[in-house]
Amino acid sequence: MTVRVGIVGCLGRMGQALAREVYGAEGCALAGGTEAAGHAGLGRDLGDAAGLGSLGLAVGADAAALFRAADVVLDFTAPAATVAHAEIAGTLGKALIAGTTGLSAEQEARIKAAAGRAAIVRAANFSLGVNVLLAVTERVAAALDPAYDIEIVEMHHRHKVDAPSGTALALGQAAAKGRGVRLAEVAERGRDGVTGARKTGAIGFAALRGGDVAGEHTVMFAADGERVELTHKAGTRQIFARGAVRAALWVAGKPPGLYSMIDVLGL
């Protein structure tokens, strides 16, 4: 079966990477793409925009029409747009791959509600390597006692608007789950000035921004006399697109529900 895949936000850097990955993936076909109303690229050929040559797919602004034409829609846009797209998916019963970060608790709840009527794969990061890192982080945190301080350091390009990254927070959640604690109760998301000694059991975050870094994440377990570091470095957005397409192929035909990349990879 060929899975028809649509892309919302198709003219952005990630949208173009997704288009290239879908175009080259066995078992997939591009169903089209959309951008927000008023975008300068509306009407442009999606293939031309992604460097694939003309495909006869004009970029539109009607997200609902794209969902109707597709089996699965990929969304790496912005929080409000992703929530709106999740609700369209729920209304039409079409699958959605949602990779947007920076969502509020209320927005996450609305996506979860939409997943009662549509299959939605929601992940902070679609890199296959990062999702293996999430699984390993949970296991290491469970194995090492609280004498090992946990620090999560991430770096992204200068244009990223949310911090810590969604992936860093997901790593924090994995570490907290391994330790059997709630991240909200132990997270330290910023230090400045005279902060006092580090709290035992805290999970710290540091966010770096600069250049064109696609994404780097390190989870440190630091104790007296030794330090364990787990690191993932992304050199290109194409790895996220590759994971998103794998998720699209996996979710096609699945019943309604909120899935993760852990489900997709069988971890």
Q: Which residues are catalytic?
A: 156, 160
Nearest to 182, CA basis, from 190, 191, 168, 172: 172
The one-letter amino acid at 97: I
Q: How far is CA 19 from CA 15, 177, 241, in A?
A: 6, 35, 8
The alpha helices in 115-212, defined as continuous H runs, are: 128-143, 166-179, 183-186
Nearest to 220, CA basis, from 240, 208, 206, 234: 206
Contacts within 8 Å (CB) and 24+ apart, 226-235: 228/140, 228/144, 228/148, 230/133, 230/136, 230/137, 230/140, 232/127, 232/129, 232/130, 232/133, 234/127, 234/130
